[in-house]
């Protein structure tokens, strides 16, 4: 059983420091900033926690990184540590990172990256500026909070949280410790700016008064864990107890499904609702009533806008992370492939200087690194991420209870409903605590 963080961090930090002092230190021309590469003082030192499809893709290149070779290939980044509870993954990526740096050093020694089983060992290192978290979803909120407390900036994959209370604790932690946070909802930055443009047109009144939004997906949330039975033997090289972490313990089911402790639209939904919130202008608030209209989940905001957790009737656009925005004078639909308006002339007329122009970023990873250096707010910071997840989670609670609810988005609690309020948080397994 892992020891609590307050007992572990100091001991691990001393252990790490001793190992660093004892290790041989080889300085190459690349390390000094030759070959056009920034010197170490100008690089962002990063650690990667969770090396599955998402985390590994960010590290060495994936469809969502939009840079061949991922963070590893960036000259302004130094990958110093990788972490995974699967030994083969962490050892394999360590070798890959070190081989890359060795080749870049033109034959020199580049034993630059260490591998860890326990993420707390990585967080205890004082030479790491930022971490990218691509773990199973039930770890995200706790791990981001611990990283902030350890003085790290964080890029966290979605969903960022599984409960409302986790989300609020995340926002408070990043404010308290002054760290930079970026949620992995890259639609605000990428895909040719289609999502930003759609939101700017909606918020500039080009479809008239916004009345309704169709978010494609409904609510979601936390579940204790679906697999039943006695389980199967844990394979050698997998730390299953640490994989389960703060979630209720279950026997190893024969796989490591990253979404084992989530239900509904908990995985994909944050992409949709992040854009919904952006278009409504509600990054600091949320709905006030959750109910149903004609069998469809309907969440009403204080300004009268209603968000439906389903597709717009007959609309094909909006399936891949987008939605449909309906106003008094037309509608706009957007997803990763398409941006369309009805009538078409809405999008044919360019935005002017007096229209709404939103935070512009052309690369999600670049925006994160820029903000690590400048200490500015990212395009999808902790508060923004929390509010998008809150819409999914309050909708999910209403779906579980099968009745309408009234929500106070500022106090973040349901009105006169103790049963619903008990669902705003879940107990965490010892010794893990937010």
**What digits encode the pLDDT tens for the residues 206-248?**
999 999 999 999 999 999 877 777 899 999 999 999 999 999 9
Q: What is the pLDDT of residues 335-379, one digit of tens each?
A: 999 999 999 999 999 999 999 999 999 999 999 999 999 999 999
**pLDDT over 50 (residue 14):** no
How far, CA to CA in Å, does 63 sit from each of 55, 58, 136, 271?
12, 9, 19, 15
Compute the distance between CA of residue 151 and CA of residue 178 in angstroms, rounded to an integer: 8
**Mean pLDDT taken over the chain:** 91
* pLDDT number for residue 211: 98
Is there a domain that residue 212 lies in?
Answer: yes
H or E, element range at 46:
strand 44-49
Domain-ending residue, one of 188, 218, 249: 188
* pLDDT number for residue 8: 40
Looking at the structure, do residues 166 and 220 belong to the same domain, yes or no?
A: no
The token pair at 254 is 């024969």
Looking at the structure, do residues 55 and 161 belong to the same domain, yes or no?
A: yes
Q: What is the pLDDT of residues 244-299, one digit of tens each?
A: 999 999 999 999 999 999 999 999 999 999 999 999 999 999 999 999 999 999 99
* pLDDT number for residue 293: 96
User: Which pLDDT band holds residue 17 (cuts at 50, 70, 90)?
Assistant: very low
* pLDDT number for residue 419: 98
Looking at the structure, do residues 298 and 408 belong to the same domain, yes or no?
A: yes
Looking at the structure, do residues 124 and 144 belong to the same domain, yes or no?
A: yes
The share of the chain scoring above pLDDT 70, in percent, equals: 90
Looking at the structure, do residues 331 and 395 belong to the same domain, yes or no?
A: yes
Domain total for the chain? 2
Higher-confidence residue of 122 and 10: namely 122
Compute the distance between CA of residue 139 and CA of residue 260 in angstroms, rounded to an integer: 11
The beta strands (E) that lie in 128-206 are given as 130-133, 153-156, 181-183
Domain-ending residue, one of 188, 220, 249: 188
* pLDDT number for residue 36: 58
- Residue ranges making up the domain that contains 254: 192-351+382-434
Looking at the structure, do residues 129 and 206 belong to the same domain, yes or no?
A: no
DSSP three-state, residue 306: strand
CATH number of domain containing 119: 3.40.50.720
CATH number of domain containing 239: 3.30.360
Compute the distance between CA of residue 157 and CA of residue 184 in angstroms, rounded to an integer: 4
Domain-ending residue, one of 188, 208, 238: 188
Please state the pTM of the whole predicted model: 0.90
């Amino acid at each position: 059983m892992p020891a609590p963080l307050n007992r572990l961090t100091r001991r691990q930090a001393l252990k790490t420091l001793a190992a660093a002092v004892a290790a041989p230190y080889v300085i190459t021309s690349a390390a000094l900033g030759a070959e056009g590469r920034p010197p170490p003082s100008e690089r962002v030192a990063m650690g990667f926690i969770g090396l599955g499809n998402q985390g590994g893709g960010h590290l060495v290149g994936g469809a969502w990184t939009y840079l061949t070779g991922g963070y590893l290939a960036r000259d302004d980044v130094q990958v110093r540590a990788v972490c995974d509870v699967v030994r083969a993954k962490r050892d394999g990526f360590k070798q890959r990172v070190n081989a890359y740096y060795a080749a870049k050093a033109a034959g020199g020694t580049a034993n630059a990256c260490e591998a860890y089983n326990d993420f707390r060992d990585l967080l205890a290192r004082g030479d790491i500026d930022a971490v990218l978290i691509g773990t199973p979803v039930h770890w995200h909120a706790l791990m981001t909070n611990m990283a902030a407390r350890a003085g790290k900036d964080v890029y966290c994959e979605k969903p960022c949280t599984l409960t409302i209370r986790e989300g609020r604790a995340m926002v408070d932690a990043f404010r308290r410790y002054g760290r930079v946070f970026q949620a992995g909802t890259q639609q605000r930055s990428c895909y040719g700016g289609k999502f930003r443009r759609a939101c700017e047109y909606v918020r500039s009144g080009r479809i008239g008064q916004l009345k309704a939004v169709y978010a494609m997906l409904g609510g979601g949330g936390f579940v204790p864990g679906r697999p039943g039975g006695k389980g199967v033997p844990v394979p050698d090289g997998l730390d299953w107890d640490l994989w389960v972490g703060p979630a209720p313990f279950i026997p190893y089911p024969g796989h490591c499904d990253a979404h084992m402790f989530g239900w509904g639209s908990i995985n994909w939904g944050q992409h949709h609702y992040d854009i919904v919130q952006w278009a409504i202008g509600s990054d600091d608030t949320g709905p006030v009533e959750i109910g149903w209209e004609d069998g469809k989940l309907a969440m009403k905001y204080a300004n009268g806008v209603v968000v439906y957790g389903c597709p717009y009737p007959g609309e094909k656009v909006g399936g891949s992370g987008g939605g449909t925005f309906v106003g008094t004078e037309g509608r706009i639909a957007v997803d990763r492939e398409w941006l369309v308006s009805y009538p078409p002339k809405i999008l044919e007329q360019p935005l002017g200087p007096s229209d709404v122009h939103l935070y512009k970023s052309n690369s999600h990873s670049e925006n994160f690194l820029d903000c690590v250096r400048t200490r500015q707010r990212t395009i999808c910071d902790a508060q923004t991420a929390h509010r998008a997840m809150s819409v999914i989670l309050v909708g999910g609670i209403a779906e579980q209870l099968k009745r309408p609810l009234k929500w106070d988005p500022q106090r973040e609690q349901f009105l006169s409903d103790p049963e619903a309020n008990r669902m705003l948080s879940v107990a965490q397994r010892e010794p893990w605590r937010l």
